[in-house]
Amino acid sequence: MEIDASLVKTLREKTGVGIMECKTALRESEGDLEEAVKILRKKGLSAAARKASRKTTEGYVGSYIHAGGRIGVLVELNCETDFVARTPEFQELLKDIAMQVAATQPRFVSRQEVTPQVITQEREIFKAQVIRSGKPEHIADKIVDGKLDKFFSETCLLEQPHVRDPSITVKQLLANFMARVGENVQIRRFVRYGVGEGQADGQPQADGESQA
């Protein structure tokens, strides 16, 4: 059965599973997207969930310097074993994530890290914007929810589109890597520095720091 590429892309976005696995699941489900999701869950996503609960006490802190030394990033990427941490694939993933941070300036690792105070503040701002635009009150909350989701996708590293492959998020990038190596891999924290950015009263500050 020939599988439409758009279906493969949609399934990949939903699950974070690799292309070949998505194609196989779609063939087994005869093109039924929801059934394909169930098939992947039975085969691999439950295993991925178990991996995500395992401790990650190994890893590396990687760095990336960009734009003539004007932007610098440190990222701590954790895994389960030193064996995986020392592989070229792990080091490449670490560099890739550091480049993502340099390019997109996230504020948090995940949406779970965003404080209730920040969420409340953003909701109030979005609500005021919607009301000023003249939208009916009864649909304002739905619009605000959409704006908040966009806020998370812009400011939370795991929810950002991957800069090298915007068809997947950074979270899906990690999930694909975890499926290949069979270990839990997590972004612990990052810090981004920009020359001249974040200064107040002549005191230099970090451009952005986040810890999961």
Same domain for 168 and 102?
A: yes
Give the end of a domain, one of 52, 67, 87. Answer: 52
CA distance 204 to 164: 31
Summarised one tens digit per residue, pLDDT across range 127-141 is 888 888 877 777 887
Number of Cβ within 10 Å of residue 156's Cβ equals 22
Same domain for 73 and 34?
A: no
Higher pLDDT: 22 or 108? It is 108
Query: Are 183 and 84 in contact, with CB atoms under 8 Å apart?
Result: yes
CA 101 from centroid of its chain's CA atoms: 11
CATH code (residue 14): 1.10.8.10
Same domain for 149 and 171?
A: no
Domain hosting 28: range is 5-52
> Is residue 208 very low, low, confident or very high in pLDDT (cuts 50, 70, 90)?
low
Residue from 60, 59, 64 nearest 98 by CA: 64
Is the four-CA dihedral 53, 75, 119, 141 of positive or negative sign? negative
Summarised one tens digit per residue, pLDDT across range 151-190 is 999 999 999 999 999 988 999 899 889 888 888 899 999 9
The total number of structural domains that make up the chain: 3
Same domain for 92 and 121?
A: no
Pairing of strands 58-66, 186-194: unpaired
Burial 120-137 (b: 16+ CB within 10 A, else e): eebbeebbeebeeeeeee
CATH code (residue 181): 3.30.479.20
Query: What is the per-residue pLDDT for 4?
Result: 82
Query: What is the per-residue pLDDT for 203?
Result: 46
Same domain for 146 and 163?
A: no
Task: Examine the pLDDT at 146 and tell me if it is beyond 70.
Answer: yes
Query: What is the per-residue pLDDT for 27?
Result: 87
Query: What is the per-residue pLDDT for 65?
Result: 94
Same domain for 101 and 160?
A: yes
Residue 85 structure tokens: 């941490």
Same domain for 206 and 164?
A: yes
Residue from 151, 154, 170, 153 nearest 162 by CA: 170
Summarised one tens digit per residue, pLDDT across range 4-50 is 888 888 887 777 666 777 888 888 888 888 888 888 776 655 455 55
Same domain for 161 and 197?
A: yes
Same domain for 133 and 32?
A: no
> Is residue 107 very low, low, confident or very high in pLDDT (cuts 50, 70, 90)?
very high
